[in-house]
Amino acid sequence: MLPVRDSYEALYKEFSWNIPDHYNIGIDICDKWADDRDKQALIYETSDGDMRRYSFHDLRTLSNRAANLFAARGIERGDRVAILLPQQPETALSHIAAYKLGAIAVPLFTLFGFDALRYRLADSGTKAVVTDAAGAEKIAQIRDDLPQLEHVFCVDQPSSGGEDFHSLLQRASDSFMPVQTAAGDPALIIYTSGTTGAPKGALLPHRTLLGHLPGVEMSHDFLGFEGDLIWTPADWAWIGGLMDVLFAAWHLGVAVVARRFGKFDPEAAFDLMARHAVRNVFLPPTALKLLRTVDNPAQRWKLNLRSLASGGESLGIELLQWSRQQLGLTINEFYGQTECNMTVSSCSALFDVKPGAIGKAAPGHRVAVVDERGGIVPAGEQGRIAVHSPDPVMFLEYWNNAPATQAKFIGDWLVTGDMGMKDEQGYITFVGRDDDVITSAGYRIGPGPIEDCLLSHPAVRMAAVVGKPDPQRTEIVKAYVVLRAGVEASDELTGELQQHVRTRLSAHEYPREVRYIDALPQTATGKIIRRTLRDMDS
């Protein structure tokens, strides 16, 4: 989408959107390339070392079969299809099939527990789920609470409550005529962590992929060069792995390596990048910090990296210096959120990366720092980072939550919830959040669902959750717990509470520390003062 230019100013000034009236993600990222039977789309490597390669032609065949399967089971335009899988081919082809059918995809994280899955599946009114045996087992235990869920397809083995996905695909036709979708038609719902209450489902249109592209291309120094090959450890259930890597790469015809580590191993990551001659990589800051612990990577592995992008947390100058010294690359930091992603990026090919800054506005996006009334503040002054509407990358609404949608805007500005500053050169610096979202290992975690989960334990009377600074994860989840009368604090109880959150909510959201206190600090109206809790550790 971006022409190569020597000047950021010229690129930003010359850029204009060309969004067609009708546009479909599934056709764009797959079918438009599929007539070339040899054009490689995906290199899939399993944890056992097995490797499979897929062309765009293969993906078109498989996604057409999946679309016919969904249609045969009564899934229609606008119906929700959840995809509860890690990085693997079935994840991608299920997304493509849903879009070509006009359905709405609902990506779900495999570490979600019963409560997290129950809420998202019920709130979205999901009609079908594509998952594996582990996911099917979880869903079977909450199936009675999901009256709108009609079909569960299992991709790896027959499962109780799950149909054999691949055997059904084999019997389906590989010919399918995609429905015509408008660029503004809904395509997927990604649930974000809320600071209070339940998670919110950001409803994204088909055009949101096109809106991502300028920022994605900037963050990889103009992604799409001959020979580019991209990988990320980020899960495809989140917008960073799905839109910023998988879909953006396939829009450009760039092949993707799929290999999701159960636990990120820095040496295994270097080995993977070297073996596949990966050229482009998106690494969250936590992964970068782990890679930094490996000595002399350039001497130990023959790397072929051309671009390195990172986002989700602010990078320190040490990581920037390490990447330049050890990898010969400047990390391009980018910024955004599910509701309005990839609106700011660094680009070492266009301008100097400024330590501490998250970059400049990507072409096509108007990003400013505003006050509480929506007025643009002077350069160098702190305010709210905001994006001007309309913008093709912007979400349509929060699913079933009109009040939250309205609260996201101040006039024509979508406010991100983050505080920042913008200097006279256009560099934007992230200062901090104006909410209580916890950023841990690249995940944005809301305290509300964790607190609700802790309160469901019989030993807990009250609970509050905050982020505690951590050198490796940026923050860890720390819980402050008030016990019920007669219950004694103990290491055993701490382990029980941690496991309670792990199994009922998600393995990435459990509190790594639990502190027992007599009472929570509260305002006169009963709101928890989380700032006071955070100050206890300072």
Tokens found for residue 153:
């397809």
Question: Which amino acid is present at 419?
Answer: M
Q: 114-166: per-residue pLDDT in tens?
A: 999 999 999 999 999 999 999 999 999 999 999 999 999 999 977 777 999 99
Q: What is the pLDDT of residues 294-328, one digit of tens each?
A: 999 999 999 999 999 998 766 777 788 899 999 99
pLDDT at 195: 45
pLDDT-derived band of residue 525, with 50, 70 and 90 as boundaries?
A: very low
pLDDT digits (tens, 9 = 90+) for 484-522: 989 999 999 999 999 999 999 998 999 999 999 999 887
Q: Is the peptide bond before 390 cis (omega within 30 degrees of 0)?
A: yes
Q: How confident is the model at residue 264 (pLDDT cuts 50, 70, 90)?
A: confident
User: Mean pLDDT of all residues in the chain?
Assistant: 93
The H-assigned helical ranges of 305-344 are 317-322
Count of alpha carbons within 13 angstroms of residue 350, beta-carbon side = 27
- Which residues, including other chains, have CB under 8 Å from residue 25's CB and lie 6 or more apart? 95, 96, 99, 187, 206, 209, 247
**Range scoring the smallest mean pLDDT among 39-53, 256-270, 439-453:** 439-453
Closest CA to 243 of 28, 68, 403: 28
pLDDT of 256 over the 90 cut: yes
pLDDT of residue 160: 72
Q: What pLDDT, on a 0 to 100 scale, did the predictor assign at position 389?
A: 98
The pLDDT value given to residue 196: 52
pLDDT-based confidence at residue 538 (cuts at 50, 70, 90): low
Q: Which two tokens stand for residue 377?
A: 């503040």
The beta-carbon contacts of 197-200 under 8 Å, at least 24 apart in sequence, are 197/448, 198/119, 198/123, 198/448, 198/449, 199/116, 199/119, 199/120, 199/446, 199/449, 200/398, 200/399, 200/401, 200/404
The tens digit of pLDDT for each residue in 217-239 reads 999 999 999 999 999 999 999 99
Spatial distance between the Cα atoms of 377 and 424, rounded to a whole number of angstroms = 12
Q: What pLDDT does 430 receive?
A: 85
In the chain, % helix, strand, coil (3-state, to 5) comes to 30, 25, 40
Share of the chain above pLDDT 90, in %: 78
Alpha-carbon distance of 482 to 470, in angstroms, equals 24
Is the per-residue pLDDT at 523 higher than 70?
no
Q: pLDDT tens digit string along 380-437?
A: 998 999 999 999 999 999 999 999 999 999 999 999 988 889 999 999 998 766 767 7
Using the structure block, give the residue that is written with the tokens 């929570």: 520
In the chain, what are the domains?
24-181 (3.40.50.12780), 438-535 (3.30.300.30)
pLDDT over 70 (residue 206):
yes
Q: Stretch 349-355: mean pLDDT, rounded?
A: 92
pLDDT of residue 524: 46
- What is the C-alpha separation between 319 and 331, in angstroms, rounded? 8
Mean pLDDT in residue range 62-80: 98
Residues 444-470 have a mean pLDDT of 87
pTM: 0.88
3-class state of residue 327 by DSSP:
helix
% of the chain with per-residue pLDDT over 70: 97
Euclidean distance between CA atoms 414 and 202, whole angstroms: 13
Q: Which of 365-369, 485-489, 490-494, 534-538 has the lowest mean pLDDT?
A: 534-538
d(CA 528, CA 447): 11
What's the confidence (pLDDT) of residue 272? Answer: 97
pLDDT, mean of residues 264-293: 93
Name the DSSP class of 157: S
